[in-house]
Amino acid sequence: MTKKPGANHLGDSTAARAFGECASGGNMVTSAPCKYRAFLSYSHRDTAAAKRLHGRLEGFRIDKDLVGRETPVGRIPKHLRPIFRDRHDFDAGGALAAQTVAALDSSAALILVASPAAANSKPVNEEIRLFASRHPNRPVIPVIVGGNPGDPEKECFPPALRPQGGRDGGILAADVRDTGDGRELALAKVIARLIGLSPDEVFRRAERERRRKSRLRNAIIGVLALLAGSNLRPTRRFSTPRSRPQPRSSILR
Taking only the tens place, the pLDDT of each residue in 71-126 is 888 888 888 999 998 665 554 455 678 889 999 999 999 999 999 999 999 999 99
Per the domain annotation, does 187 fall within a domain? yes
Q: Which of these, 222, 198, 187, lies nearest to 73 by C-alpha position? A: 198
Alpha-carbon distances of 39 from 67, 97, 141, 200, rounded to whole Å: 22, 14, 10, 24
Is the CB of residue 190 less than 8 Å from the CB of residue 54? no
What is the model's pLDDT at position 17? 39
For residue 86, is it within any domain? yes
DSSP for 3-23, written as a single string: EESS-HHHH-GGGGGGTTEEE
Establish if 100 belongs to a structural domain: yes
Residue with the bigger pLDDT between 249 and 66: it is 66
3-state SS assignment for residue 41: strand
The CA-CA-CA angle for residues 133, 81, 39, to 5°, reads 20
Evaluate if residue 170 carries a pLDDT over 70.
no
Can you tell me the distance from the alpha carbon of 158 to that of 97, in angstroms, rounded to the nearest whole number? 19
Q: How far is CA 177 from CA 41, 59, 181, 247, in A?
A: 19, 21, 6, 88
Residue 131, in any domain of the structure: yes
In a domain, 114, yes or no: yes
Q: How far is CA 44 from CA 54, 142, 184, in A?
A: 14, 16, 23
CA dist 211 → 206, 215, 218 (Å):
9, 6, 10
**Whether the predicted pLDDT of 6 surpasses 80:** no
Residue whose C-alpha is closest to residue 43's, from 182, 157, 150: 157
pLDDT higher at 76 or 238 = 76
pLDDT digits (tens, 9 = 90+) for 137-146: 999 999 999 9
Query: CATH number for the domain including 104?
Result: 3.40.50.10140
> So what's the pLDDT on residue 9?
39
Owning domain of residue 56: 3-206
Of all residues in the chain, the percent with pLDDT exceeding 90 is 42
Residue 212 within any structural domain of the chain: no
Residue 12 lies in a domain: yes
Q: pLDDT (tens digit, 9 = 90+) per residue, 201-220?
A: 876 766 665 555 566 667 78
Between 12 and 171, the higher pLDDT residue: 171
Q: How far apart are alpha carbons 64 and 249 in whole angstroms? A: 90
Q: Which residue would you say has higher pLDDT here, 250 or 111?
A: 111
pLDDT of residue 247: 58
Regarding predicted confidence, which is higher, 106 or 64? 106
Domain count, the chain: 1
Which has the higher per-residue pLDDT, 207 or 192?
192
Report whether 196 contacts 74 (CB < 8 A). yes
Q: Alpha-carbon distance 171 to 128, whole Å? A: 14
Rounded average pLDDT over 47-58: 95
3-state secondary structure 178-231: CCCCCHHHHHHHHHHHHHCCCHHHHHHHHHHHHHHHHHHHHHHHHHHHHHHHHH
Position with higher pLDDT, 140 vs 249: 140
**Is 176 domain-assigned?**
yes
Instruction: Identify residue 227 by its one-letter amino acid code.
Output: L
Question: What is the rounded CA–CA span in Å between residue 87 and residue 113?
Answer: 14
Give Cβ neighbours of residue 245 (< 8 Å, ≥ 6 apart): none
